[in-house]
Amino acid sequence: MPNIAALLKSEITRVARKEIRAEIESLRKAVSAQRSAIAALKREIAEVRKMASKGPQAPKAAATASDAAEAGVQRRFSPSRLAVHRQKIGLSAAQYGALVGVTGQSIYKYEQGKARPHAATVRKLSELKERSKAQILASL
């Protein structure tokens, strides 16, 4: 027959651990939320420091209507889709880059995923995809 004292001790330990786990779970969630807030604040501080290091800048001219329309649209970039589109049209990387305003080497790096284009270049690439093959070839 097992020792009653040992059984009682093990049961008390089990119940205590269960209670502690329940109490700690809410604390873990709070700590996780605080870490996320701290990370967001660090990103914001880095951005402010970056802006401050640039120094005072002249105010920009009023944005054009196309800039205002583009501001609300977020463009995504996919290296594989860029390669497929360029091959579908039948252009070399240098020709495709000339249409966008970058070098052929940049196009190769974008397609391989070794480099990411700037937002303005992504916008130009997406505008190029919206045009027909005849329009693209005519603009060369």
Q: Is residue 120 part of a domain?
A: yes
In the prediction, which pLDDT does 61 show? 47
Same-domain pairing of 48 and 79: no
* 77, 118 Cβ separation under 8 angstroms: no
Are 83 and 135 in a shared domain? yes
Domain span at residue 40 reads 1-54
Total domain count, the chain: 2
69, part of any domain? no
> Rg (Cα) of the chain, in Å, rounded?
29
Residue 126: inside a domain: yes
Mean pLDDT of the 96-113 span: 91
d(CA 54, CA 112): 32
Cβ within 8 Å of residue 25, ≥6 positions away: none
Mark whether 82 and 46 lie in a shared domain: no
Lowest mean pLDDT among 3-7, 9-13, 64-68, 95-99: 64-68
Report pLDDT digits (tens) over 15-46.
Answer: 999 999 988 998 999 999 999 999 999 999 99
Dump pLDDT digits (tens) for 54-97: 876 655 544 444 554 555 567 788 888 999 999 998 999 999 99
List the CATH number of the domain containing 110.
Answer: 1.10.260.40
Task: Give a yes or no: residue 60 inside a domain.
Answer: no
Q: Going by C-beta distance under 8 Å and a sequence separation of 6 or more, which residues neighbour residue 106?
A: 97, 115, 117
